[in-house]
Amino acid sequence: MTTRPHPGAPGRRSPLAAALATVLTVAVLTVLSACTPTDDRPEPARGGEQASSTGSATAEGILADYDLAGLDGRELVDRLEATPITERPTGLIASVRSDAVLVTGADGREAAVPLPADEFYVSIAPFVDQTHECYFHSLTTCLGELSGEEFDVQVLADDGSVVLAETASTNDNGFLGLWLPRDLAGTLTVTQGERTATVPLATGADDPTCLTTVHLT
């Protein structure tokens, strides 16, 4: 259907057309902006054995509500990242930081599940047409453009050494995850057919766990 301009106001859209455009824009942003670029929630307490024990018990309680009890940090990341979108636990938020996964239950309880001391997890969403801002990867809400597609992935350290070279596929959420050594500085190259992208990559304490800048051209 073609919307005709209102007489006397060339190019002006009708209220109905403007409303439809707004709805479509919100729908697109909802699909591709499910990751939160920043997260201002305070870090969990790390102040001694009692706090650690309490935090661990809280984490187990939260995860038990979603049939995830007993998983360590790496197992939790791998399980949730590979879960199909339609089977993701409703109400659970799992945000990947450099040293822990911050989990929040539907009831508002929060806790941290530690990640390996010698490994850093970064999740990558290659894209061709559409992407979104992201800093801390959400294992339960982040969505990328290219789901279930295969890519050649290479990570080079700044000294030129090859840290990783493999063929990997994005999960149902459009992300592929890499476990890398901590305190690495280098580059990531992702290739699919004739399209390729190279971006800086670092795995320090303050570096992002979510890369959505991998634009295949």
| Banded pLDDT at 20 (limits 50, 70, 90) | very low
pLDDT tens digits, 174-215 = 999 999 999 999 999 999 999 999 999 999 999 999 999 999
pLDDT of residue 56: 83
Type of residue numbered 92: L
Contacts of 207 (CB under 8 A, 6+ apart): 98, 120, 122
pLDDT tens digits, 142-152 = 999 999 999 99
Give this prediction's pTM.
0.79
Report whether 212 contacts 35 (CB < 8 A): yes
Output the CA torsion sign for 156, 160, 161, 162. positive
Report whether 158 contacts 87 (CB < 8 A): no
pLDDT of residue 34: 56
* Arithmetic mean of pLDDT, 8-36: 44
Please tell me the distance from the alpha carbon of residue 33 to that of residue 132, in angstroms, as a whole number.
Answer: 5
pLDDT tens digits, 27-66 = 343 444 457 544 443 343 333 333 344 568 899 999 999 9
Closest among 177, 157, 182 to 166, alpha carbons compared: 177
Dihedral angle computed from the Cα positions of residues 141, 96, 195 and 170, in that order, rounded to the nearest 10 degrees: -60
pLDDT of residue 44: 39
* Arithmetic mean of pLDDT, 125-132: 97
Contacts of 98 (CB under 8 A, 6+ apart): 115, 120, 203, 204, 205, 206, 207, 209
User: In order of start, what are the domains of the chain with their CATH numbers?
Assistant: 49-114 (no CATH), 119-211 (2.60.40.3700)
Return the percentage of the chain with pLDDT > 70, whole number. Answer: 75
